[in-house]
Homo-oligomer: A and B are copies of this chain.
Amino acid sequence: MQEAKKSELPVLAIDLGGTKIIAAIISDKGQVMAREYYLTLAEEGPQPVIGRVLSAIAHLLDSGNLDLSELRSISLAAAGAIDLDKGLVTLSPNLPGWYNIPLRDIVKDKHGVNTFLINDASAAALGEHQFGVGRGVNNLILLTLGTGIGGGVIINGKLYSGPCGSAGEIGHMTIDVNGPRCSCGNVGCLEMLASGTAIAQEAIRRISQGEKSSLAEIVDGKAGNITAEAVGVAAKNGDSLALEVISRAATYLGVGMVNLVNILNPEMIIIGGGMAQMGDLLLDTARQVVKERAFPLSAQAVRIVTAQLGENAGVLGAAVFARQQN
């Protein structure tokens, strides 16, 4: 009886991204019972960010009048390469200075609650598979498109993390062997060509060279302030430079998808993260590339869709992960 009760307790889940930290209380049915968010301010380095994670946890418990004993566990999803076994963030292109940080045990030691740590895109894949657009789909890949590109892989209905827990670094596959070096150490990574950062940089480059675009007005002539979001808005309004920049990134995204389709024959590729808001503006081109270039049988089998759970995918999936562990 006591056992059954424990399993019904909520999970406190954290999604630690390069831009923001989302903290939420998730019920055993997958309801988001409470939710807060904070800016990560990742550029300040690991210690202040860890401090913010710890206060987010404390604040969420406080404001919900929850005691630690009323939690089943704490589950952390972080934007980086995770050592599942040891609970480390081994490195993270989007969290500067994070090398082998024992985030899981820092939180566990502080709060004395069973704590888990996984990659944020893996968490989002689990979330979408359990509660979102991927329900009932046994083989799927989720890509988080934002500052970087993360990946989560569901195979035969289960999260595939690989023997070290470090699988799914889809943003760091080379698609341009003659391309520039990525901060991960590899060259010509998908992330450098198809992420939000890549879209913003390409628009900045072209406008700085004097090309005309309504984007220049949106950012008051300061090309450096252009974001992927702004490019998306301009493209929806018919700005031709913005449309070209997005089409270029979408073609690269399609090339990355062709690789995934040929290697893994997934039933579904889900696009999450901030850039998912661009919707078909981004995905129609990517779908076309897959149709033209991937092996026909696999190309016909894959549905390329946007995520359903928005910003909650990570915390929902982190809670699913924690429930699967104990």
Contact = CB atoms under 8 A, between A and B. Distances in A.
B295 A184 contact: yes
A169 B296 contact: no
Interface stretch (A50-58, A108-116, A159-167, A206-214): A159-167
A242 interface: no
Interface in A275-301: 292-298, 301
Given A153-B264, A172-B262, A173-B258, 7 more contacts: A162-B266, A163-B265, A164-B265, A167-B298, A169-B263, A174-B258, A174-B293
Interface of A: 81, 83, 90-91, 138-139, 151, 153, 155-156, 160-170, 172-178, 184-188, 193, 252, 255, 258-260, 262-267, 292-298, 301
A70 to B, nearest CB: 35
Contacts of A83: 297
Contacts of A185: 292-293
A168 B297 contact: no
A287 to B, nearest CB: 15
A65 B310 CA distance: 66
Nearest to A267: B163
A117 to B, nearest CB: 14
B298 A166 contact: yes
A139 B177 CA distance: 26
Of residues A138, A175, A260, which shows the largest number of chain B Cβ atoms within 10 Å of its Cβ?
A175
A90 B265 contact: no
A155 B163 contact: no
